[in-house]
Structure 1
């Protein structure tokens, strides 16, 4: 129920933002808006505003719509024809249709801006160990060094270091790293190896750096759908106690054990509320050969020593640019994943539906307001990107038809548009079926 509530809250926020983008630009372009609906189906609440628009709340929370005056859908008097959508110039129609996805992207920028201004908590990037003969060792990095900057960018937390290195790893580039060693600032040059997007999580290991991590209680804060953790029956909030009757009291030791146990089946003991349970877990080998279970720790359940606490924040002006970069990076990653699914390089098993989104919404809300806002930003970007895809019935499909109209000098015939819409409907049904099937498989195994 907790996850469902936050799922509905998240969905309502993002639907309103998306549809308000269409609504606002349509009104500014002189188009008459007949209905603004959040949800589909028979209205459970409706009101006609002073502007003549009917505002509706419907029970099926899988989207919304803005219904505009349009001669293709209803009889329109000659006096009202100038306010019809189909009578507007091509530029105005493009602006109205693209306004929804753009509103989602703008919301993401605003959300990230707020997070960056308030500050994102993290752990100081102090090196615990450097692997012998590694890239880091050859560059001269040492244990206890604190990474201050990557290519002139301030990196107060491990997360900011990771993101800076990943940008370099996309193409494999030389980078300058400023560290604090024994109270003295020193500059080192590293040649970052090229790493594919599915190996991004191992970038520090490939460079040869072991981060200094505080002892964190092994409390699960996130379970990746269809992962070994979920298949074993692990849930958010579970406390990992022991493996093969050997007590393990911190998350780092669990990570070491999991990474060294790819493909091995072993029993673990957990605590769930007041109950102790024994589960069977089999870590899956990643591309680097190390074990993975698809679970993340809930660091909020542990106290981080003051000397290791850090915060990534920017001034109001600089935060705007950083928020744009963050939105661009996540948009690029989303497009790469979608292209990977189309080309077969990424499994469609990664596609999640409403159940997966609800689980993540609940999990992020439990971790605090900043985590939930970050989740909203990521889902808003995904919604915006998906709607821009050239699939009939989506905003991107309409924009594609407008592009054809611009080339031909006249609109596509209504009969052809109807046929294209049918194809688009079938595509969307197939995608929804895959997403629902994946969700049900993850829940019921």
Structure 2
């Protein structure tokens, strides 16, 4: 159960912060965001706040922010269509009732002659009580259409995604992956604040209860000055000597509270990957410092970003194997292993997955954020956007292929972990 909870929390957090990046920068650009969704498929939870509906959907395989203008707008009022109009205090159309008009006794019924809900924001028609005269009614920027009792806010062109400048559109798309890197950075900072940042001082960290150091009387905080008369200047020196001398008596000269002491320690023998080394049961020293925690956040984020790119290079270089990819099942199995190692390992695993999600989404593949950014790059070079229908077809095919790849990877994970 702990693995299930950890998997849901991690995956949910990664998707949430990714989509939150899209939402924040889309709203900053003035784009109408109709829905912020975690998951796909039928709605499990729905709550509207302001202009946006926040939903949790049944299939936890991603999320999306539905921005006005990315899909064809919902309503097209054709000539001859009868609608009801409700007005705001400025006498502008506030609600356009498409059906069940009898439920709105105060609405004004008109037969539509022409309607522009994007540019001029006007609806012209013949009022029911004045059928021989046509009238024009200005529409509010925040007007809604009402169909079957459900209100949908109209999207004037200046609130649509494609009306915004290229930099603003690109930023709204790039913000998703960017937020994954920011999330990882802050998770690494929290880990460093709680655990401390490893230092290279020759000072003993935590002592394990069953180790040789504890048996010999060494304590956390002891400063190692020499080992077998060899000068010690760093923690690396301590580790190197201990590793090279399993089952050998070592004379530690340490300083404890300003007083020097000599303590004999015999490292225990341990074999790791075929190599026999000595260990005494001491963790490396750490320092809890906000400044160093921030530095560690940068360092860890950079390190794991670099490692993931190295692995991507391996895939591209021709050494590809389907076993090198993991879907939700593979990630779940890995999460199960990490959970058994403790909360800090779970946090680190979440940060690494967040970086991985950010990088994968930046790949120039159709249907991914990187694919959309690639079309923006083409637009910048051409000086005009690619035909929306052609771009939409490319993204649709890319999405279908990605779903097929996910199915293949998931089935391979099931075979590897559960059927072999």
Taking structure 2 as the reference length, the TM-score comes to 0.63
Q: Distance in 2 between matches of 1:331 and 1:45?
A: 35
Q: Distance in 2 between matches of 1:212 and 1:6?
A: 41
Range 403-412 or range 68-77, more displaced: 68-77
- CA deviations over 1:384-425 (Å, ceiling 9, x no partner): 110010011100000010000000000001232023213412
Does the aligned pair in 1 maintain the 2:204–2:283 contact within 8 Å?
Answer: no
Q: Distance in 2 between matches of 1:68 and 1:439?
A: 34
SS of 1:352's equivalent in the other structure is coil
Change (3 A) 1:367 1:121: farther
Change (3 A) 1:414 1:357: same
Does the aligned pair in 2 maintain the 1:351–1:434 contact within 8 Å?
Answer: no
Aligned partner of 1:113 among 179, 182, 189? 189
Aligned partner of 1:90 among 157, 166, 174? 166
Larger RCO: 1 or 2 (CA < 8 Å, sep 6+): 1
Q: Which residue of 1 aligns with 2:157?
A: 81
Does the aligned pair in 1 maintain the 2:204–2:282 contact within 8 Å?
Answer: no
Structure 2 counterparts to residues 8-407 of structure 1, below 5 A: 8-49=8-49, 51-70=50-69, 72-74=71-73, 77-78=118-119, 79=141, 80-119=156-195, 148=201, 181=227, 182=229, 184-185=231-232, 210=243, 252-253=270-271, 255=272, 259=274, 308-407=282-381
SS of 1:58's equivalent in the other structure is strand
- CA deviations over 1:117-171 (Å, ceiling 9, x no partner): 222598x9xxxxxxxxxxxxxxxxxxxxxx749xxxx9979xxxxxxxxxxxxxx
Range 395-404 or range 430-439, more displaced: 430-439
> Tell me, which stretches of 5 or more residues in structure 2 are unaligned?
75-116, 120-140, 142-155, 207-223, 248-267
Change (3 A) 1:375 1:155: farther
Number of aligned residue pairs: 301
Does the aligned pair in 1 maintain the 2:22–2:173 contact within 8 Å?
Answer: yes
Q: Distance in 1 between matches of 2:283 and 2:162?
A: 57
Does the aligned pair in 2 maintain the 1:116–1:312 contact within 8 Å?
Answer: no
Q: Distance in 1 between matches of 2:191 and 2:294?
A: 11
- CA deviations over 1:15-39 (Å, ceiling 9, x no partner): 1111111111111111111001111
The offset of 1:372, in angstroms, is: 1.2
**1:418 lines up with 2:392 in the alignment:** yes
Change (3 A) 1:211 1:418: farther
Q: Distance in 2 between matches of 1:104 and 1:71?
A: 23
Q: Distance in 1 between matches of 2:359 and 2:350?
A: 14
Q: Distance in 2 between matches of 1:11 and 1:348?
A: 22
The offset of 1:45, in angstroms, is: 0.9
CA RMSD of aligned residues (A): 3.6
Does the aligned pair in 1 maintain the 2:25–2:171 contact within 8 Å?
Answer: yes
Q: Distance in 1 between matches of 2:21 and 2:246?
A: 43
Q: Distance in 2 between matches of 1:44 and 1:72?
A: 23
The offset of 1:179, in angstroms, is: 9.4
> Tell me, which stretches of 5 or more residues in structure 1 are unaligned?
125-146, 158-177, 191-203, 215-249, 261-289, 291-303
Does the aligned pair in 2 maintain the 1:341–1:348 contact within 8 Å?
Answer: no
Change (3 A) 1:382 1:313: farther
Please tell me whether Structure 1 or Structure 2 has the larger radius of gyration of its CA atoms. Answer: 2
The offset of 1:367, in angstroms, is: 2.4
Q: Distance in 1 between matches of 2:32 and 2:245?
A: 60
SS of 2:118's equivalent in the other structure is coil
Q: Distance in 2 between matches of 1:86 and 1:339?
A: 34
